[in-house]
Structure formats: structure tokens, C-alpha cells
């Protein structure tokens, strides 16, 4: 079962639109937060800046303001507007069900395993097919660029159906493989690990 999701936008114009929207929401939250702080100060201090005598009503109102502030913060914290770790708002984000927060793709990749939900992708290809696929993709590695051209070509050639190709590519995307080159660089190791072949992978590339 898929227990995390990544939202990727490639088109520069859509990306700008998304980033501006996120910024707008972040700014609106900031303004709202600031208003609440001012309300609280007006409530607790007189015109000379001296603390007023706290009546039960004032305490109650101040508590209510505090509650609103926390709710605002929590809402933004859980939103896709910015990365929980690096704070950037102009990134593709991955949702982590384990902690109910969004991370940018890079920060998510660097999270320790115990903060990531367990994820067991269902592969539409066999172990032997996976090995053959990567053997062939590595061969053309130098030609791999910012498309799935070689991936699609190899899977086609191996007789993997269109739907199964999409399913396999989607798993690779979860591992940061958004094109041929990234499938090799980012996804390959994780896919090998999923098939219980991490040792074989290490032998191929580190010995
Ligand atoms: Zn980040």
C-alpha cells in the first residue's frame, strides 16, 4: 500500500504559480498571526504599556487568542506551503504519513528511516526483469537525460505492458527518479533494496 505521496510540478509557469500561491498563504498566515499578537497586547497592557489587572474575562479572552494563534501555526505547519525541515516554499513536496507533515523531496530523502512510514511498493515486473532493465539502462547511462525515453524503450523491448511501465516508473519517482538519469542515480539502489538485492547493487557499483 502506498503510504506517502510526492507532488511534482515540472512546468516552469505552473511552478511559479504554485510558489506564488504558497507564498501568499504564508504571508496571510503571518499577517493574521501578527493581528492576534496585537489583540493580545491591547488586552493585557494599557495605553502606557503597563500590564492591566487580569480579570477572569481578560484571562479567558487572552487564552482564546492563544488558542487561535496555535491553531494558525499548526495549520500552516501541516500544509504543503513549505518544507518542515529547510523551510523552503518553492520545492516539490513529499507527504510523510508517519508524522503528518510535508517535506521537500531532498529533505525527505535525507530523513532517518524511523521517521519515514514503511512503504512496500508493488512491482509489476519480476526480479529477473528488474535486473535486466537496470543492466540495459546502465549501458546507455551516459546518454540518459531528462526524459523517460530510454526507460520506456527498454521496458517496451522487454515486452512490459504500457500500464506496468507506468506503475514501475511511478515507483521510481517515489525514489526520486523523475527521468532516465535520475532513475539510475536516485531510484536504482532503492529498487534493488526492495527486491532484497542491496548486496548485488553494492557489488556492482562499489567494488
Ligand atoms: Zn526541505
pLDDT, tens digit (0-9, with 9 covering 90-100), for 32-89: 999 999 999 999 999 998 999 999 999 999 999 999 999 999 899 889 999 988 999 9
Q: Answer whether residue 22 shows pLDDT above 90.
A: yes
User: What distances in angstroms separate CA 177 from CA 6, 116, 156, 169, one per listed residue?
Assistant: 12, 18, 18, 8
pLDDT of amino acid 36: 96
Tally of domains in the chain: 2
And the C-alpha cell for 102?
510535508
User: Distance (Å, rounded) from C-alpha 55 to C-alpha 9?
Assistant: 53
Q: Answer whether residue 99 shows pLDDT above 90.
A: no
* Local structure of 95: helix, strand or coil: strand
User: Distance (Å, rounded) from C-alpha 70 to C-alpha 84?
Assistant: 16
Distance 17 CA to ligand 1 centre (A): 19
Same domain, 8 and 91: yes
Domain end residue (candidates: 113, 148, 175): 113
Distance 204 CA to ligand 1 centre (A): 31
Beta strands in the chain (DSSP E): 4-7, 93-96, 101-104
DSSP state of 5: E
Domain end residue (candidates: 113, 144, 166): 113
User: Distance (Å, rounded) from C-alpha 84 to C-alpha 115?
Assistant: 13
| Domain ranges, residue 168 | 127-206
Structure pTM? Answer: 0.55
Domain end residue (candidates: 113, 147, 168): 113
Distance 100 CA to ligand 1 centre (A): 15
Taking the alpha carbons at both ends of the chain, their separation in whole angstroms is 34
Element (H, E) at 130: helix 127-139
201: closest CA among 129, 139, 136, 131? 131
Distance 34 CA to ligand 1 centre (A): 25
User: Distance (Å, rounded) from C-alpha 74 to C-alpha 68?
Assistant: 10
Kindly state whether residue 118 falls inside one of the protein's structural domains: no
Mean pLDDT of 121-148: 93
Amino acid at each position: 500500500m502506498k503510504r506517502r505521496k510526492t507532488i511534482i510540478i515540472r512546468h516552469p509557469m505552473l511552478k511559479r504559480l504554485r510558489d506564488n500561491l504558497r507564498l501568499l498563504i504564508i504571508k496571510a498566515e503571518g499577517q493574521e498571526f501578527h493581528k492576534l499578537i496585537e489583540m493580545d497586547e491591547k488586552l493585557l497592557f494599557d495605553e502606557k504599556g503597563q500590564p492591566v489587572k487580569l480579570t477572569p474575562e481578560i484571562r479567558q479572552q487572552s487564552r482564546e487568542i492563544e488558542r487561535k494563534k496555535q491553531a494558525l501555526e499548526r495549520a500552516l505547519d501541516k500544509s504543503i506551503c513549505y518544507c518542515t525541515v529547510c523551510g523552503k516554499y518553492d520545492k516539490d513536496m513529499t507527504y510523510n504519513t508517519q508524522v503528518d507533515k510535508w517535506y521537500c523531496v531532498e529533505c525527505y530523502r535525507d530523513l532517518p528511516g524511523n521517521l519515514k512510514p514503511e512503504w512496500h511498493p508493488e512491482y509489476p515486473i519480476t526480479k529477473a526483469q528488474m535486473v535486466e532493465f537496470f543492466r540495459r539502462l546502465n549501458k546507455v547511462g551516459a546518454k540518459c537525460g531528462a526524459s523517460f525515453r530510454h526507460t520506456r524503450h527498454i521496458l517496451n523491448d522487454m515486452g512490459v505492458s504500457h500500464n506496468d511501465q507506468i506503475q514501475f516508473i511511478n515507483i521510481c519517482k517515489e525514489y526520486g527518479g523523475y527521468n532516465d538519469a535520475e532513475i539510475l542515480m536516485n531510484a536504482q539502489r532503492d529498487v534493488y533494496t526492495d527486491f532484497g538485492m542491496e548486496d548485488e547493487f553494492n557489488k556492482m557499483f562499489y567494488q
